[in-house]
Chain A
Amino acid sequence: MDAMQIASAIFLILVLAFLFPRAKHMFLNSPKAESGDWSSALLPLIAVVGFVVILIWLVSQ
């Protein structure tokens, strides 16, 4: 284990400390999804997955 690994771990732990209160607030205060909300969000995310797969296929040719 070198100093860079430890420094990177400290950085990520600080990122967690930064994110945690915001995540808690968002988790408690986010509006609940209505019917159809998740499908409208999943559609573009699935398209992103497909696009990334195409990019991987292109560079691996």
Chain B
Amino acid sequence: MNNYNPTITSTSAVSINKVLRNTYMLLSLTLLFSAVTATASMLLQVSHVVSLVCSFGALGLIWFVLPRTAHSAAGIGIVFAITGLLGFGLGPILNHYLALSNGSQLIATSLGGTGIIFMALSGYVLTTKRDFSFMGGFLMVGLIIAVLAMVANLFLQIPALSLALSSAIILIMSGLILFDTSRIVNGGETNYVTATVSLYLSLYNIFVSLLHLLGIFGGDE
């Protein structure tokens, strides 16, 4: 028996395209907003304490506020608040790298590299339309191990571990871009607000980790 129903198929395709379009539009706007808040933070020369407070604020919004507002218009405001806080928190890191003689080159390379990684991975999923949902558990376990190692390295301060962690984070976040994009493409994610936050966090972490790696290998300190 043929279960193909063109009406349902075309309706879901339209719905998936709408989620995808809205996600990419909101992601673009939030990245621009982050760039603005990061610039403001750099100009204000905020300290690492302020950066950490912003990270706590963003985590609180993601944990407690986003799940309650993701299905309403307020969710868009919360996404801007989260990305604005995370962008503002980048100020001290960017100022640190800008103090190096080739700092602006490192930041530009990290930014460009992050953009290319994102576009290539998204393009791969959109072209192949493969389902990467099987990676979910594996990626989350990897992420938990990486965060545990980060806690340990805060106190151990082993440079090689720090290097390995930045590399691992880039790989895990790249996997999460495949996972999140395939969920949108295959209809598993229907909320563009949560999809935007997931993709934004992957991009943010790739950028910071790539900057760290490039700073280690190419920084003229």
Contact = CB atoms under 8 A, between A and B. Distances in A.
The answer to whether A and B belong to the same complex is: yes
Given A8-B52, A23-B143, A41 B135 contact: yes
A52 B154 contact: no
Given A1-B155, A34-B134, A59-B217, 16 more contacts: A4-B48, A5-B155, A9-B151, A13-B151, A16-B144, A18-B62, A19-B147, A22-B140, A26-B137, A26-B140, A33-B135, A47-B120, A48-B117, A48-B170, A51-B113, A52-B167
Contacts of A26: 136-137, 139-140
Interface in B121-140: 121, 124, 128, 130-140
Contact of B63 (A4, A11, A18, A48): A18
Given A12-B151, A27-B140, A52 B210 contact: yes
Contacts of B106: 59
Nearest to B157: A5
| Secondary structure class of chain A's binding surface, majority of residues | helix
Interface string B23-45: 00000000000000000000000
A19 B141 CA distance: 9
Interface stretch (B3-11, B70-78, B171-179): B171-179
A16 B148 contact: yes
| Secondary structure class of chain B's binding surface, majority of residues | helix
Contacts of A4: 48-49, 52
Nearest to A18: B63
A7 B52 CA distance: 8
B133 A31 contact: yes
B105 A44 contact: no
Interface in B48-64: 48-49, 52, 55-56, 59, 62-63
A27 B137 CA distance: 4
B191 interface: no
Nearest to B143: A19
Contact of B178 (A7, A41, A56): A41
B213 interface: yes
B214 interface: yes
Contact of B59 (A18, A51, A58, A59): A18
B30 to A, nearest CB: 20
Interface string A27-48: 1111111100100110011011
Contacts of A45: 171, 174-175, 178
27 contacts: A4-B49, A4-B52, A5-B155, A11-B55, A14-B56, A15-B147, A19-B144, A20-B144, A23-B144, A26-B136, A26-B139, A27-B136, A28-B137, A29-B137, A31-B131, A40-B128, A40-B130, A44-B124, A45-B174, A45-B178, A51-B113, A52-B167, A56-B218, A58-B109, A59-B106, A59-B109, A59-B218
